[in-house]
Chains A and B, each alone.
Chain A
Amino acid sequence: MSSGGGDGYLLEGVRRLGSVTIFLGRLLMQCVPALGRPALLLNQIYNAGARSLIIIMLSGLFVGMVLGLQGYDLLQRFGSEEALGTAAALGLLRELAPVITALLFAGRAGTALTSEIGLMRATDQLTAMEIMAVDPLRYVAAPRFLGGVIAMPLLTAIFSVVGLYGAQLVGVQLMGVDKGVFWSQTQGSVDMHDVNEGIVKSVVFGIACSLIAVYEGYNATPTAEGVGLATTRTVVASSVMTLLLDYVLTAEFL
């Protein structure tokens, strides 16, 4: 019942928001029993986390190295290249690590989750579970959701560490910033508030990206085209939602 044009989109948007919220409520109820299945959960943390490690570490290294180059170039104009450590650490911890990790997570783990669950739907595996009186929300969706939520902060932390090492590699080894100054500046200017900002952001992004990936897979049209569309929607929605939430959280923390 679309009333055409903008109204139709608005109605669809509201319907979708309601549907995601109801799904989240049902999912959260199943998360408690899912926590009691450590084998299933560990498997999903491995799938979402460990299998994303290489892409996260490589990206972290390069982002850190670029930060080192750009930061050095910018700071030396003001004669304060010693502050490179501070700039890189704050930039990574508060902003770049959570956001880029979430975007990479959506592209790697998110799409894998959506297509896996979507294909389970298309091949009647979810229906078969229903008939066997096993709730697929509890057995399939909840462990994958929790796996993503747990993996995201861990991946973000690894991204930060590797990124900082990359910035140090360029700043200290290549550009000649003093190593002691780099690390002491970093240590002196980063406080728990900055670390917390990164942690909170990564947890929120983890919830958003995992929820979108699981929801899209679970509600995918059970055809090849439907699963493909759902996978695309996961990347688009997760990316936009990550950037939107990033603005809200940054405004909240500043």
Chain B
Amino acid sequence: MTSPVSPQPASAAAADAVVEVRDVSYAVGGRPIFKGLDLRVRRGRITAIMGPSGTGKTTLLRLITAQIDADSGQVVVFGRDLATLGRTEIYALRRRMGMLFQNGALLTDMDVFENVAFPVREHTDLPETLIRLLVLTKLQAVGLRGAAGLMPSELSGGMARRVALARAIVMDPEVLIYDEPFVGLDPISLGVIVRLIKHTNDALGITSIVVSHDVHELSTVADDSYLLAEGHILAAGTPAQLRASDSPAVRQFMSGSEEGPVPFQYPAPDYATELFGTNE
């Protein structure tokens, strides 16, 4: 299948790629999720990975964070092929990454302060006064310094995600990965998260990967975007390029239409036959 838009962002250069996915195939239980997937995340930019639900966006993040191995092809992060790395090296690589989970994934037996302090305590021997400064600074950045003493069960969805963001940036990662950061947020929380993604990327000079199907929100923050469908990259470019695409599949996704090449209905037997036992 040919890509309706350029398969890579036009000015992409291999030299500044932080994450490179090269011809990756991956299947679960015989069902292919990716078939020859190629994409590149460039240093210092916000890269959006979009696509309908169930196209393997979260699976792609699991490949990039070395939680699963590709069946074939290469996943290269910070210039290292993940398939060649041992457990210790993968853990060393992960220390340079931060990830924001869809539900926050805060540790429920610790309060907000301890959640943000957790990676620092685990990986450094910093004195308590310094940890306190570090944690409060990051909590201030996400606007939740006052919530430091709350337990995760006392937070709203948006607050939990902001705390998780503070935890993800507390070790000053080089790459920050967001898994569906906009799902289920009220308009105010959503606006705050969008601004935080942009601000965090620019202020800390990190590389961001945002996986989502919220086209509108992504368009406002992303520098590069990839549209993922049916196991490969359907289109790549800036959000504006994607919006201007002539491809029916890209247009369908960007406009949120039910009609188009991407089927809304899951494959099923004939409707009339199933309802009435006949197609008359």
Contact = CB atoms under 8 A, between A and B. Distances in A.
Interface of A: 119-120, 123-125, 127-135, 139
A129 B108 CA distance: 13
B107 A131 contact: no
Interface string B227-270: 00000000000000000000000000000000000000000000
Contacts, number: 52
12 contacts: A123-B108, A127-B67, A128-B99, A128-B105, A130-B67, A131-B65, A131-B94, A132-B94, A132-B122, A132-B171, A135-B91, A139-B122
A133 B168 CA distance: 12
Contacts of A123: 103, 105, 108
The dominant DSSP class at the A interface is: helix
Given A132-B94, A133-B91, A124 B123 contact: no
Interface string B122-140: 1100000000000000000
B67 A128 contact: no
Interface of B: 65, 67, 91-92, 94-95, 97-99, 101-103, 105-108, 118-119, 122-123, 164, 167, 171
Given A124-B105, A125-B105, A125-B108, A133 B94 contact: yes
A124 B103 contact: yes
Contacts of A130: 65, 67, 94
Given A123-B108, A125-B108, A131 B97 contact: yes
A138 to B, nearest CB: 10
Contact of B101 (A119, A120, A124): A124
Q: A127, A129, A132, A134: which has the most chain B beta carbons within 10 Å?
A: A132
A128 B152 CA distance: 15
